[in-house]
Each structure stands twice: as structure tokens, then as C-alpha cells.
């Protein structure tokens, strides 16, 4: 017969373990809210919010329900790899574990202030490492261009407020250099990447090579990320959960950072 001590030992161990909240710390919302001012690619109509019934019912309780319509790609959103890589993950196929991880911020705001068409380079990534150490395996890399401060002014944020296909050639905002995307997939093991502009490729891109390089490796991107100026260069966690659209090439994204106390 097992002793009373042996039976009670598991309970004693559990009772002695520190009761920590895995979400304890400062939570920073990295998502822009969706409304009529939300920025989309010039060829997209944008976000539509339709008010439904609102008020008190004959039964005496309050009730309201609305409707919305949106393209997959606009506002703070996730690009699934299928967006630019045939046969790769659609939104619901991305493992949830890939959307949660240690975050880092590579700050290139100074360079982007001097050049709207700036491309984040391998050197920028290596400079981050020279100060902070090697980019950790499983990291979620966030690029701070400083363009988040322009949201939701389309002209300042995108380089043009024009709409339609003809406006695409007038887009001017920073992005990730294709060589830097290649360096990341070949030399580092990251889960995802994001930035505070409309696209992981810069506004003047016509081949979208950074998209292709990342997505062929099933590395998703987060675009139009907010509040990166509130984050340190490292030492925080990221949770990035999109609307779980089956077969989707992208989806609205609620992304947060958790800074430890």
C-alpha cells in the first residue's frame, strides 16, 4: 500500500509551485482599429461597416448587431504564405504556435525618415545583432520604419491618396530588401515578420521579391502593425491571431505585445 506521504506528494509539489500569470506584464495593442479611415491598397474598396438594429426590444433588453465587409488585405492584417507562394499555407493552415513567440524590433525609423523608399538591409539586421546578440530561433521580427505615426493619413503613410490601379505606381513607403529577406530565411530561424507599412515589399516594388522569398518558406507577414514605438528592441512576447479564414490568403489581425513587469 502506498504511504500517505507518497499520495500527498504531488499535491504538495503543486501547492508549492509559484502561481504566475503567463500574461502578466504590460500589454501593448499593435493593431489599428477598423473603420472608414482604415488604409487599404489603392485598388481595394476598403472597410464597410453597416449599422444594424440598435435599442431596447419589446422584451425590455438592449440589443444591437452590425455587419461589415472587408478585403483580406488591409488595416492591420496577416499575409498568409499562399498570398505569393503556390501551395503554401492558407490562413487556417498556419500553426498557431508560429503566431506566438519572442519579439524583437529592428528600428530603422531614422533611415526611413530620410528616404521614403528605404529598404531594410542585411546590415540593419546585423547591426541589431551586434547590440543585442543573435536573432533568437523562433523569433517574430518587427521592423519599425516610423511610418506608423502617419496612420490614417493615406498620402503621408502610402505616398499617395489616389485610388485605382494607376495609383499603385505612386506608392512610396519603406519595406524589406529582398536580400535581407533571403538572409533571414537562409541564416536565421524566424516564425514571422511584421512592419508598420502597407507591405513587406516597399511601395515601388513591382516583383514583390521579399514576399515571395519569405512565403516560399511558409513565413507569414504582418502588415500595418501599430505602436511599434512603444516596444523595446527585445525582451517581449508577441501574440498575433488573425481571423481564421479557411482558404484565406490573408485576414484581419489582432496582434499584441506583452512586456514583462
| 169 Cβ neighbours under 8 A, 6+ residues apart | none
Q: Is 208 inside a domain boundary?
A: yes
Phi–psi pair at 25, nearest 5 degrees: 130, -175
Please say if the pLDDT value at position 13 is more than 50: no
Phi–psi pair at 161, nearest 5 degrees: -100, 5
- The CA-atom distances, in angstroms, between 94 and each of 25, 45, 156, 174 are 27, 27, 33, 26
Domain count for the chain, please give it: 1
Strands 190-195 and 236-242: unpaired
Q: Is 201 inside a domain boundary?
A: yes
Torsion of CA 33, 39, 43, 46, to 10 degrees: 30
Rounded to the nearest 10 degrees, the angle between the axes of helix 122-132 and helix 178-187 is 50
CATH code of the domain covering residue 131: 3.50.30.50
List pLDDT tens digits, range 53-107: 999 999 999 999 999 999 999 999 999 999 999 999 999 999 999 999 999 999 9
Q: How many residues does the chain have?
A: 261
Q: What letter would DSSP give residue 30?
A: -
Please say if the pLDDT value at position 17 is more than 50: no
- Under the banding of pLDDT at 50, 70 and 90, the label for residue 20 is low
C-alpha cell at 163: 485610388
Q: Is 224 inside a domain boundary?
A: yes
- Under the banding of pLDDT at 50, 70 and 90, the label for residue 261 is confident
Q: Report d(CA 64, CA 96) in Å as an integer.
A: 32
Mean pLDDT of the chain: 94
Q: Is 213 inside a domain boundary?
A: yes
Q: Which domain holds residue 213?
A: 23-32+78-259
Q: Is 53 inside a domain boundary?
A: no
Please say if the pLDDT value at position 119 is more than 60: yes
User: Can you give the pTM of this predicted structure?
Assistant: 0.90
- Under the banding of pLDDT at 50, 70 and 90, the label for residue 12 is very low
pLDDT at 238: 98
DSSP 118-149: -EE-HHHHHHHHHHH-SPPTTEEEEEE-SGGG
Please say if the pLDDT value at position 4 is more than 90: no
Amino acid at each position: 500500500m502506498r504511504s500517505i506521504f507518497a499520495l500527498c506528494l504531488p499535491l504538495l509539489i503543486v501547492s508549492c509551485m509559484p502561481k504566475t500569470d503567463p500574461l502578466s506584464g504590460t500589454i501593448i495593442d499593435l493593431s489599428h482599429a477598423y473603420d472608414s479611415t482604415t488604409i487599404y491598397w489603392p485598388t481595394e474598396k476598403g472597410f464597410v461597416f453597416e449599422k444594424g438594429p440598435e435599442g431596447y426590444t419589446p422584451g425590455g433588453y438592449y440589443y444591437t448587431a452590425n455587419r461589415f465587409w472587408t478585403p483580406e488585405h488591409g488595416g492591420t492584417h496577416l499575409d498568409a504564405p499562399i498570398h505569393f507562394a503556390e501551395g503554401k499555407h492558407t490562413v487556417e493552415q498556419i500553426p498557431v504556435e508560429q503566431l506566438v513567440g519572442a519579439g524583437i524590433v529592428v528600428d530603422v525609423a531614422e533611415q526611413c525618415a530620410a528616404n521614403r523608399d528605404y529598404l531594410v538591409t542585411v546590415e540593419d539586421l546585423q547591426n541589431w545583432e551586434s547590440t543585442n546578440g543573435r536573432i533568437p530561433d523562433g523569433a517574430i521580427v518587427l521592423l519599425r520604419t516610423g511610418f506608423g505615426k502617419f496612420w490614417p493619413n493615406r498620402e503621408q503613410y502610402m505616398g499617395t491618396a489616389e485610388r485605382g490601379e494607376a495609383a499603385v505606381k505612386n506608392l512610396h513607403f519603406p519595406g524589406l530588401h529582398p536580400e535581407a529577406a533571403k538572409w533571414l530565411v537562409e541564416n536565421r530561424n524566424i516564425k514571422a515578420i511584421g512592419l508598420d507599412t502597407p507591405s513587406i515589399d516597399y511601395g515601388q516594388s513591382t516583383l514583390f521579391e521579399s514576399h515571395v522569398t519569405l512565403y516560399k518558406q511558409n513565413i507569414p507577414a504582418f502588415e500595418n502593425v501599430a505602436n511599434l514605438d512603444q516596444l523595446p528592441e527585445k525582451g517581449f512576447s508577441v501574440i498575433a491571431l488573425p481571423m481564421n479564414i479557411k482558404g484565406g490568403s490573408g485576414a484581419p489581425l489582432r496582434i499584441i505585445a506583452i512586456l514583462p513587469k
